[in-house]
Amino acid sequence: MKILHTADWHVGRTIRGRSRAEEHREVLAEIVDVAADRQVDLVVVAGDLFDSAAPSAESERLVYRALLDLAEVAPVVAVAGNHDHPGRLRAVTPLLDLGRVTMAATPARPDEGGRVTVTTDTGEVARLALLPFVSRRAIVRAQHLMEGEAAEHEGTYAARLQSVIAHLVGDLDLDVVNLVVAHVMVHGATLGGGERSAHTIFDYSIPASSFPGGLGYVALGHLHRPQRIPAPAPVWYSGSPLQLDFGEVADTKAVLVVEAEPGVPARVEEVPLRGGRRLVHLAGTFEEVIEAGRRMDGVYLRVELDEPARAGLADDVRAELPDAVDVVLAPSRREARSRDRAPRRGRSPIELFAEYLEERGARDERVEGLFVELLDEVHAAPPP
């Protein structure tokens, strides 16, 4: 059985206010092409289809069109991530079912949708345990759902989630391909940089040993860097299909094509994706970054300037490099401003205003001159 594993689409994500809808349309079409070219038997999407719990109509069109296009190649099984709204996904589940897309929006008992069996077009059988993202607030309810008893006993988030996974996996059937599709943080994994930090802290993390060795493959979402996690079973994050933030500039985005058969650990191939713009970090003087940036096309830039702060500096950079979405001063320049701060007592308003501009990277003699004129008018005004 050949499986395509993708996750963390984050459709609707912008970069400093700029839409990335066209990039998402391009890269999702590329994923569909990979599925077709590799003739996969099953597609799994491990959560965070959307970037927001209240996606725009355009984002919904992109996601549902991509799911249905993938389903024309092979059956699709997806789970909700921490960015997705479970209620909204549940609302469209009956329609997705008609299009060969199985959606798990919330945790469920194995016999109520938490575990599904898929027979591929070639007659191969996969048994999938499905684990959408579970918040700390919802973990007690999820554990109670699985165990069927009052969850009054003590337990950490990790211990409770391990119990949920154990119930979903159950007794392994070595005559079929056993899979887990989950949106979860695992100990020792490497963050990509664009994840929501509140849901990647250690309190939300579980050990890789939570997944038993008899599993053929564990398809994870949540972290944006493709990576294998050392574990008794083959445990992989597929990562996001686009570079979503400047912490991901070094990442090569990919989907995973997995070859699995009953009772044997899966073999995994990373298939690089080329859709969407790359994110690039440039550092140096104004002249250096402008020269380097002019040689780049179709990228988003983060510019770090080794320049004295002055008003309009960022605007000057963007005038030369329209794709510079971040313009900041180099750390040494910021530190120098902080070290040079003088005591404020006994200093004139003009001096204090100049220091204020300096601290915010907006020092400019023209602005200081306007402040002096304003101060003169205030002093010259008659008392009320």
Residues 259 and 359 in one domain: no
Instruction: Check which CATH number belongs to the domain holding 290 and give it.
Output: 3.40.50
Q: What is the pLDDT along the chain (384 residues), one digit of tens a residue?
A: 999 999 999 999 999 889 999 999 999 999 999 999 999 999 999 999 999 999 999 999 999 999 999 999 999 999 999 999 999 999 999 999 999 999 999 999 999 999 999 998 889 999 999 999 988 777 756 666 566 554 444 468 888 889 899 999 988 888 899 999 999 999 888 876 655 544 445 567 899 999 998 899 999 999 999 999 999 999 999 999 999 998 899 899 999 999 999 988 899 999 999 999 999 999 999 999 999 999 999 999 999 999 888 888 999 999 999 999 999 888 877 665 555 555 666 666 777 787 777 666 666 666 776 776 676 666 655 555
pLDDT of residue 254: 97
Q: Are residues 235 and 263 in the same domain?
A: yes
Q: State whether 56 and 196 are in the same domain.
A: yes
> Does 194 lie in the same domain as 338?
no
Residue where a domain stops, chosen among 227, 248, 272: 272
pLDDT at 346: 60
Kindly report the CATH number assigned to the domain that includes residue 59: 3.60.21.10
Is 47 in the same domain as 151? yes
pLDDT the model gives residue 22: 96
- The residue from 221, 242, 272 where one domain ends is 272
Spatial separation of the C-alpha atoms in residues 262 and 260, rounded to whole Å: 7
Tokens in use for 233? Answer: 């079973």
Last residue of some domain: 272, 298, 321? 272
User: Looking at the structure, do residues 255 and 286 belong to the same domain, yes or no?
Assistant: no
What domain range includes position 373?
Answer: 278-380
